[in-house]
Copies of this chain bind each other. A is one copy, B any other.
Amino acid sequence: MLKLTSLSLEDAKRLIHAAEVKAATIGSPSNIAIVDAGGNLLAHVRMDGAQIASISHSINKAFTSLACKLPTHVLGQDAQPGGQFYGLSNTVEGRIITFAGGVPLRSGHELVGAIGVSGGTAEQDREIAEAAKVAL
């Protein structure tokens, strides 16, 4: 048997709140999603004014970061033409997102969940996700 640690819903709400505050501060209404250690959705919000394509993007960025154990912007580099994982985009039932905004969440060295943010520029999405991570 393996002993694991995973985010609770309370953790997810605290992280989402931090992301919402950052998103409001920088004026980038966003979709924000949190998955647990198993890659399963824990919570999601779409801020008023955020685009609907980003619903799926936020959920799948969180899933991707958890499932690949890496931030999505790092995967995006390896997924470029000529990169070692070219063709990675959209694998795993179309769920792998290779642009910025997904960040794994660790407690010590253990992967306990991930956050995905979508709605702004790549830089804004990543900035909001990183800000939320601090609230962990």
Residues of A within 8 A of B (CB): 1-9, 11-13, 36-48, 51-53, 55-57, 60, 64, 66-69, 76, 79-82, 84-94, 96-100, 107, 112, 121-123
- Are A37 and B76 interface neighbours, CB within 8 A? no
Closest B residue to A89 by CB, please name it.
B87
A27 vs chain B, min Cβ distance (A)? 15
- Are A2 and B5 interface neighbours, CB within 8 A? yes
**Most B CB within 10 A of own CB, among A3, A64, A88, A122:** A88
Residues in chain B near residue A44, CB distance under 8 A:
41, 43-44
Residues in chain B near residue A80, CB distance under 8 A:
81-82, 86
- Give the distance in Å from the alpha carbon of A7 to the alpha carbon of B122 in the complex: 28
